[in-house]
Structure 1
């Protein structure tokens, strides 16, 4: 008996089952978007012919252009500002040495242990006193200085060749020029991986927008899907179609940056 062959067959069987369990929810979501609500509740597993009707029903209930515009605006601005602030902070923590540097960084890591639920009330009070309630900036500002992304950039910066920085200094470049013209192009895979993480977090953010965005015209897609599920008689076909549409932007960004994402997570520097 070939035990190596049996072992390999077992590995492939396990991976096949894991892949099925991972893909099936997406298959069910896509199939459900084409069926009527009654067909979904009865467990129909084949595509239906109700996709257009579901879309028309969704468009009649929701201003899709405005809602997706809100989500894209918040996600894009949050991503740009978070990458800018967090990458500069991560670069600075690694490149500039001081006596208090490690203590400050350890304090930041300690703050990761504080649950967001404990911060919501004081954060909401700050936003209210700044008259930012029911604005997109109320959603964006608390996400800019991401401790996890700062930690991620600092760890990635450890792989940044010090010779490049020294050569740039010899050529007369200032520190901000080294960061923009040497560090940033070299760490593009790290930025790609961080872009996916930050964009997905901003796009899927639910709890904090639910608290600070109080009017229907400022709602994001995650809040709209939640409102659809809260109906007295929810239309599951419409809900699943909205979920599919909400998933597409993150899927597109992931597949476009997939190669750089893997390189960035492995700490590759080019």
Structure 2
């Protein structure tokens, strides 16, 4: 009996140590954001602020315009998530359950394009958006996220688990394809939809390279781009930069914590059914 208890204690101790190592940078970032200017530059660096203060956050929102950039990121990530889910779910369901000419061949072509690095497609994509007049607009940021190959693949694999007999029974009862999709398919796909929504929202919120390329107007900047621009203006102000990092990380961290039950459920169900 003692050996299992010892093993359990060792495993739990190791997990606690790993969790502490993982959380330490986030906690220290929060601690530095509450320090006075220049305090974090002392040697050795202090772990806790001598006199905690929210002055760095007040400076960010009062003079650096962080509130506007926060609203920009939230609106952009929300719109991209909703639109991307709409296209990905319909396309994934079509590839899984609807019969049309060239379905398997087209899906294999989509999968093959996954091996192409995103950086390779940035130049032709930018030129295409420039031709459409979408450069320096939020449309230029959202269009590349309209339908992701990974999202289509994820929904398709999950939709394959829906019994064909269930769909055929609904058709025999006179239900149209749109009603079947809304009443039967969407409720079944709920766990994977939440998982895909979290993926898309986090990817859009944290994306730095593409908004940096497409957006030239400072008023349209997202949080990561604005924080990078701010760091060039306040090179030595580590405390303010950490405060900006907290503002950038905190919303998506809270979102993940609130929805983690559905996220884990979607991953587990997908692994079991797949």
TM-score between both structures, scaled by the size of structure 1: 0.92
Which residue in the other structure is 1:248 paired with? 250
Which residue in the other structure is 1:72 paired with? 74
Describe how 1:1-270 pairs up with structure 2 within 5 A.
2-42=2-42, 43-98=45-100, 100-231=102-233, 233-267=235-269
Q: Which runs of 4+ in 1 moved over 4 A?
A: none
TM-superposed CA distance for 1:150, in Å, is 0.6
TM-superposed CA distance for 1:102, in Å, is 2.1
How far, CA to CA, are the matches of 1:100 and 1:207 in structure 2?
Answer: 35
Contact 2:167 2:180 in 1 (8 A): yes
TM-superposed CA distance for 1:99, in Å, is 6.1
Contact 1:34 1:48 in 2 (8 A): no
Contact 1:159 1:267 in 2 (8 A): no
Deviations 1:185-213 (A, max 9, x none): 22211111111111000111110000010
How far, CA to CA, are the matches of 2:114 and 2:36 in structure 1?
Answer: 44
How far, CA to CA, are the matches of 1:212 and 1:95 in structure 2?
Answer: 37
CA RMSD of aligned residues (A): 2.0
Determine helix, strand or coil for the equivalent of 1:266.
Answer: helix
How far, CA to CA, are the matches of 1:257 and 1:191 in structure 2?
Answer: 12
Moved more, 180-189 or 76-85: 180-189
TM-score between both structures, scaled by the size of structure 2: 0.91
What are structure 1's unaligned runs of at least 5 residues? Answer: none
How far, CA to CA, are the matches of 1:50 and 1:225 in structure 2?
Answer: 22
Contact 2:61 2:67 in 1 (8 A): no
TM-superposed CA distance for 1:156, in Å, is 1.1
Contact 1:54 1:241 in 2 (8 A): yes
Deviations 1:96-150 (A, max 9, x none): 2456322211211111111111111111111111111100000000111101111
Contact 1:192 1:260 in 2 (8 A): yes
Aligned length: 269
How far, CA to CA, are the matches of 2:227 and 2:51 in structure 1?
Answer: 22
How far, CA to CA, are the matches of 2:33 and 2:122 in structure 1?
Answer: 35
TM-superposed CA distance for 1:44, in Å, is 1.2
What are structure 2's unaligned runs of at least 5 residues? Answer: none
Taking a change above 3 Å as real, the CA distance of residues 238 and 55 of structure 1, as seen in their structure-2 partners, is same
Contact 2:88 2:155 in 1 (8 A): yes
